[in-house]
Structure 1
Amino acid sequence: MSNEYLKFDETAEALLAKAQRDGAETMWDRRAAQKTQCGFGEAGVCCRICAMGPCRVSPVPGKGAERGICGANADTIVARNFARMVAGGCSAHSDHARDIVHAMHHAKPEGPFKIRDEKKLRVVAAEWGVEGADTKETYALAHELSNMALEEFGKPFGTQRFLKRAQVDRQKVWARENVEPRAIDMEVTTLMHSTHIGCASDYESLFRRGMRTGLADGWGGSMIGTEFSDILYGTPSAKASESNLGVIDAEQVNILIHGHDPNLAEMLVLAAQNPEILELAKSKGAKGINLVGMCCTGNEMTMRHGVKIAGNFYQQEMCIITGAIEAAVVDVQCIFPALPALAKTYHTRFISTSPKAKISGDLYIEFAESTGLENATEIVKLAVENFPNRDASKVEIPDFKMPTVVGYSVEAVIDHLDKVVNSQLEDKLGTVKPLTDVIYAGVIRGAAGVVGCNNPKQVHDLAHIKVMEELIKRDVICVATGCAAQAAAKAGLLTLEAKEKCGRGLLEVCERVNIPPVLHMGSCVDISRILQIVNLCAIERDVDICDLPVVGIAPEWMSEKAVSIANYVVGTGINTYLGVIPQVLGSPNFTKLLTEDVMDMLGAKFVFEKDPIAMVDKIMVDIEEKRTALGI
């Protein structure tokens, strides 16, 4: 393991050595066992969507088969594979949102699911045209709005309601290019139909359908997931927390919450505060109950409750390897099927809870909105009962944790940035004007949304951190979600002290507003927050989103969700930089469509760049060109 790697994650070396001593297999062992990965798959030219195949066509013309058995060429195969990744990613994010809406349908004053942001409930209801949005009884309104939201998944006619939020020129682009998303489930189903054997072969047509499905995620499922989570659980505001594996407490019952859907996690927070369960923990020799978060459930819980962040995607195994986790509780997405076997090396109980992500190997306790608190209470009790089974000889908790400031919702960002120009006013503007002012004045050169996963094809977290550190040094403010946000947390970039790493302009803003230079905006679903704040800036300046000096970046992405995200960010008019090249290079035509031709359609494009410093150099050229075009 290189010193450069250890600079960014000092927890890794000791815990991987411990795993070897304990006989525990990790992702790195499985990565080595893969040896050389399939070149056809890497190029995107392997097709297995019918039983005549799998067919592999040559990414090099004139060398090997140029068409599959049905006649599909590299352009078609690559475009179909890419489109199906978009469909998978949209499905994951949007089904998450559906679960949130279901929980809101169960909300009632005396139950565990309550309306905690009534103001946002009424704002969204008015936005969607609900009669009596400002006067109707709270829970009657919530149930009516949840029914309307469920219709967004399957309504037979019309487009997504949240599209009307977009700056008017962007709406015109979507209409002109026929990429306005209709019902979310319709877009996914139609795209899967289009990519079936014997259907679409035109790669541009497939791309457009994929783009529409991606936009159904960003301006549909993800935006619903974010807004309705805020209504149900509270809109986040800035708060202190801690990050990295040092947040695990040797003297407490440690429960790892891992996944993406906050419904279960919210109930676990309530159950862990139950006085009877806390007394039970003390009777077992523990000082208390310590919930720690992993991946996007961790982001959701830290934003709303200050739950400490144990780590991001690749640390899910390391967390168990510490030997101090009583229960690893998971819901959906980004969960290694290898975790139950790893947990058996220690005393940890692995508990899966979702019928959509039932993972064999240990316990399954199904979570349902109607019985949510009861399910969570059973899980917490099980973890507490497991505390005496911990083997002290196997406990090794890294002494690394970082203070972290989290919880920058759109509302929180506006509240803080208002102070840049209105610090002496009692009545702040409550708009993004201060943000656009400092960008247009050149105090900040631009903004970057840094998002996405970890990927063992790269040194973990290194690209995330290098990109963010270089951007803030060059006066580009960063907003981050998902595993990228957790990488920033572990590296200390979500602290007020990180302003010392900034250029002069961004340093001044951070000092005046008392914010970190990298703002934690939440989970991967919450990239919709990034869309909204950029969109508000475009509305404020009366320009299309594609004209603003902003970029999207996924330095270490790996999932289908990331492909859907990249599509909707580009579709929104924001150039999107990918540090891992998608499996498209087997089709030069489709690659050119993504990286060049799409500019004529949507005013934004995909940019592939593995080297993080080279990526930042390209981003700065991009941002300065946008500034010049705006005359600023």
Structure 2
Amino acid sequence: MAKEMIHRLNGRISYHDSVQNMYENRLVPDEMSNVFDRMDPQEKIRCNFCTDGVSCQLCSNGPCRISNKSGAELGVCGISPDAMAMRDMLLRNVMGTATYAHHAFMAFSTLKSTAQGKTPFGIKDKNKLYDMSQKLGIDTSGSQEQVAERLADYFIAELSKDYQEPSKLIQVFAPQKRQKLWQDLAIFPAGVLHEIKDATASCLTNVDGDYISLAKKAMRLGIACIYGAQIPLEMVQDILFGTPVPHEVDMDLGVMDPDYVNIVFNGHEPWVGVATIYEARKPEWQEKARRAGAKGIRVIGSIETGQELLQRFEMDEVFVGHTGNWLAIEPLLATGTVDVFAMDENCSPPNLHPYGEKYKVTLVSINDLVRVPKVEKNLDYKPPEGLAIAHKLLEWGIANYPIRREHVKPYVPQMKTKAVAGFSTESILNALGGKLDPLLDVIKAGKIKGVVAIVNCASLKNGPQDWVTVNLAKELVKRDILILAGGCGNHGLEVAGMANMDALQYAGEGLKEVCSSLGIPPVLPFGTCTDTGRISMLVTALADALGVDTSDLPVAVSAPEWMEQKATIDGLFALAYGLYTHLSPTPPVTGGPELTKLLTEDLEGITGGKVAIGDNPAEIAQAIEDHINKKRQKLGI
């Protein structure tokens, strides 16, 4: 029997009309290989052993698969199905953490180079610079540049810290009750690079075959990732570019105008994108574009780099918005409006060269991690070279414009949505008058039952693009549950109109009343997947204000369309942090019965966190609401 193509639902491959339009009217007629069609043959040949996490190719005795029916109850080395699945998950976590650590190192290096006057950036949030430095015990004498350099050096040193001295970052930013628990469980981590080393070495054949030990290492890695990489890198970006404040932005493919030189930034790190915005605002660059026949130069964001820009920059004549998450990349390039597609860190699919050829797009890697087959333009970012890279991208964009206009007929779905981006712990506190009391009061009164962080990617494994994410959000806000959004799922919610005031039509009466009084949507865009750390800071503040542990709060986490390795490490942190963590699609661990029991049942009695699975938005939301109500009852509210 043929497998059901779950990513095609009543003819839809995406929740978004813009992407659906591009698929039907551009990708298919132009016979372009695309992510939606490539899913079809893969769905037909999937292996249940891999789906359940009980296959292994690490050594020459393999590949091994676990099958009780055939008598293969253990791998050749003797590893159990539980350890096999958990080891594979830990390797995923290592990859995700390493990518976050790369981003963090570049952030710290950029801060240091900025302090030395070697970048086009400056200190935008001086208060945060001094606040962070004082909290960490860093000398604040001298100029702000000297303080910034000391802070950068401190963060760089923290990356490689060993177990000899406890992490000051965790001591300052993690809940006190969690810190003691992590010490008791032996999951209080060293520096993130140290944890990456130990976790990777543990996955070697015949080294760590204990699924409980591997699970503890995964949680320790998650804690190190949040406090050693995510929180400091976002704080550094705030220092350099400003702490996010709410403002209205434009979303969806309709932001593209073929009459401009369009430079799109895709990936996760904002450095070159910011430098290009600064430069493109200068009259001389706009004049160069006009001489080439364009109306001017525009900068557009895609996926997480775009969200980093979106959080901190208001719309103007140069920065005009965001196109969507990674599943919208091929449709975006097919519009025939992109002159330069600049790719940094991750989420730049490998098969983009045909799109560059067909639609006359100059594809450029601006990060040493990213290489796309047949793409020869590679400008690896180093902080002192950021301005020169921005100049090169502007030059290539202007040179590309007449070629694109001569050879490609543009096709742009005229769909554009407003969203309110730029939320942060600071902006929420400001909206509440500097204290969390008003938020706590409406939670206690039941007008807001609880808070859910939706932080995820975008996947076709459990439905069309963003279908589960958007419909889950509708179900949650209907139940008076406030949503904090991050990651590629955040872009999906923004494009779908869930992050503007019109979305209050989906909210329950209590949530609607609170949001209306504050002038905020029921879904608050908190940024990218790196802002998992920023979200944790707000949750920690709520726990401290109530005098309870994080596991006692009426909050939950959902990754309703997790896709890649960054998402898995965020999920492991949430479990160590003590939170109910919903995952969809089902992660590849179900072939290990004891591991599955640990994650979905036993862990709740250890860290307070647990994994919940499910693909149906209404059922997911009901389970989350039940969990939140249980926590409310325990708190007596």
The alignment's TM-score, normalised by the length of structure 1, stands at 0.95
Q: Aligned ranges for residues 423-442 of structure 1 at < 5 Å?
A: 428=433, 430-442=434-446
Separation (CA, whole Å) in 2 of partners of 1:466 and 1:28: 20
Aligned to 1:357: 370
Which structure 2 residue ranges, 5 or more long, are not aligned? 1-7
Residues 562 and 584, structure 2, Cα contact 8 Å, conserved in 1: yes
Displacement of 1:39 in angstroms is 1.6
2:351 to 338, 346, 349: 338
Aligned mates of 1:190, 1:536 — CA distance in 2: 31
Match of 1:449 in 2: 453
Distance 2:629 2:465 in 1: 30
- Which of 530, 533, 540 aligns to 2:538? It is 533
Give the equivalent residue in structure 1 for 2:404: 390
- Displacement of 1:4 after TM fit? 7.9
CA distance in 1, matches of 2:176, 2:225: 20
Contact 1:180 1:215 in 2 (8 A): yes
Answer whether contact 2:115 2:146 (CA < 8 A) is retained.
no
d(CA) in 2 for partners of 1:291 and 1:192? 39
* CA distance, structure 1, for counterparts of residue 519 and residue 13 of structure 2: 30
SS at 1:372 equivalent: helix
Residue 305 of structure 2 aligns with an amino acid whose one-letter code is T
- CA distance in structure 2 between the partners assigned to 1:64 and 1:260 by the alignment: 46
Q: 2:470 aligns with which of 462, 465, 476?
A: 465
Correspondence list, 1:119-198, <5 A = 119-131=127-139, 133=140, 135-156=141-162, 157-164=164-171, 165-198=173-206
Shift of 1:291: 1.3
Please tell me whether the aligned partners of residues 302 and 309 of structure 1 are also in contact (alpha carbons under 8 angstroms).
Answer: yes
Alignment pair present for 1:98 and 2:105: yes
Q: Quick one: which amino acid aligns to residue 388 of structure 1?
A: P
- Structure-2 separation of matches of 1:558 and 1:225: 23
Q: 1:394: Cα distance to partner?
A: 3.0
- Offset at residue 626 of structure 1 (A): 0.3
Distance 2:11 2:636 in 1: 41
Residue from 77, 81, 84 that aligns with 1:77: 84
Measured after TM superposition, the shift of residue 6 of structure 1 is: 7.3
Residues 411-560 of structure 1: matches in 2 within 5 Å? 411-416=426-431, 418=432, 428=433, 430-457=434-461, 458-560=463-565
Tell me if 1:113 matches 2:157: no
Letter in 1 for 2:374: G
Which residue identity does 2:440 align to in structure 1? T
Corresponding residue for residue 204 of structure 1: 212
User: Are the aligned partners of 2:14 and 2:465 in contact in 1 as well (CA < 8 Å)?
Assistant: no
Q: Secondary structure at the match of 2:114?
A: coil
Aligned partner of 2:58 in structure 1 is: 49
Instruction: For residues 97-125 of structure 1, give each alpha carbon's deviation from its aligned partner in whole angstroms, at most 9, with x where no partner exists.
Output: 11100000101485412111110011110
**How far has the Cα of 1:169 moved from its partner?**
1.4
Distance 2:436 2:227 in 1: 20
Deviations 1:242-271 (A, max 9, x none): 001001112211111100011121112123
Quote how far apart the aligned CAs of 1:3 are.
Answer: 5.0
Deviation at 1:478, TM superposition (A): 0.5
Q: Residue 40 of structure 1: CA displacement?
A: 1.4
Q: Is the 8 A contact 2:253 2:413 kept in 1?
A: yes
Q: Any idea what the Cα deviations from partners look like across 1:73-110, whole Å, max 9, x if unmatched?
A: 21121111011111111111121111100000101485
SS at 1:354's partner residue? coil
Q: Is it true that 1:15 corresponds to 2:29 in the alignment? A: no
Structure 2 residue 95 is matched with structure 1 residue 88: yes
Work out whether residues 159 and 183 of structure 1, in 8 Å CA contact, stay in contact via their aligned partners in 2.
Answer: no
Q: 1:563 aligns with which of 556, 568, 576?
A: 568
TM-fit CA distance, 1:339: 1.1
Equivalent position of 1:608 in the other structure: 613
After superposition, give the CA deviation of every residue in 1:195-243 in whole Å (9 maximum; x if it has no partner): 1111011110110011100111122211111111111111111111100
- In 2 relative to 1, CA 478–272 (structure 1 residues): closer, same or farther, beyond 3 Å? same
| Overall identity of the aligned pairs, in % | 31
Which secondary structure state, in structure 2, belongs to the residue aligned with residue 472 of structure 1?
helix
Residues 581 and 608, structure 1, Cα contact 8 Å, conserved in 2: yes
| Secondary structure, aligned partner of 2:451 | strand
C-alpha separation in 1, matches of 2:408 and 2:199: 53
For structure 1, the residue ranges without an aligned partner over 5 or more in a row are 419-427
Give the distance between the partners of 2:409 and 2:252, measured in 1 at CA.
19
C-alpha change, 1:394 and 1:551, in structure 2 (3 Å) is same
Corresponding residue of 2:332: 319
Q: Structure 1's 4 and 444: CA in aligned 2 closer, same or farther, altered over 3 A?
A: farther
Corresponding residue for 1:599? 604
Aligned residue number for residue 368 of structure 1: 382
State the AA in 1 paired with 2:73: E
Task: State yes or no: 1:408 paired with 2:408.
Answer: no
1:287 partner letter: K
Which amino acid is 1:563 matched to? T
Query: Any idea what SS the aligned residue of 1:364 has?
Result: coil
Question: How far 1:280 sits from its partner (Å)?
Answer: 0.8
- The one-letter code sitting in structure 2 at the alignment partner of 1:268 is T
Matched, 1:65 2:67: no
Shift of 1:64: 4.3
Distance 1:604 1:366 in 2: 40
In 2, distance between residues paired with 1:393 and 1:125?
52
Which residue is equivalent to 1:378?
392
Is the 8 Å Cα contact of residues 470 and 492 (structure 2) preserved in structure 1? yes
Whether contact under 8 Å (1:87, 1:214) holds in the other structure is no
Alignment partners' CA distance in 2, 1:580 and 1:13 = 22
Whole-angstrom CA distance in 1 between matches of 2:136 and 2:270: 24
CA distance in 1, matches of 2:61, 2:390: 47
Structure 2: distance between partners of 1:292 and 1:561 = 24
- Structure 1 SS opposite 2:556: strand
Give the counterpart letter for 1:333 in structure 2.
N
Structure 1 residue 393: deviation in Å?
A: 5.0
Within 2, Cα distance between the matches of 1:468 and 1:166? 28
Tell me how far apart the structure 1 counterparts of residues 194 and 182 of structure 2 sit (CA, whole Å): 17
SS in 1 for 2:601: helix
- State whether residues 236 and 408 of structure 1, in contact with CA within 8 Å, keep that contact through their aligned partners in structure 2: yes
Q: Contact (CA 8 Å) 1:55, 1:68: kept in 2 or not?
A: yes
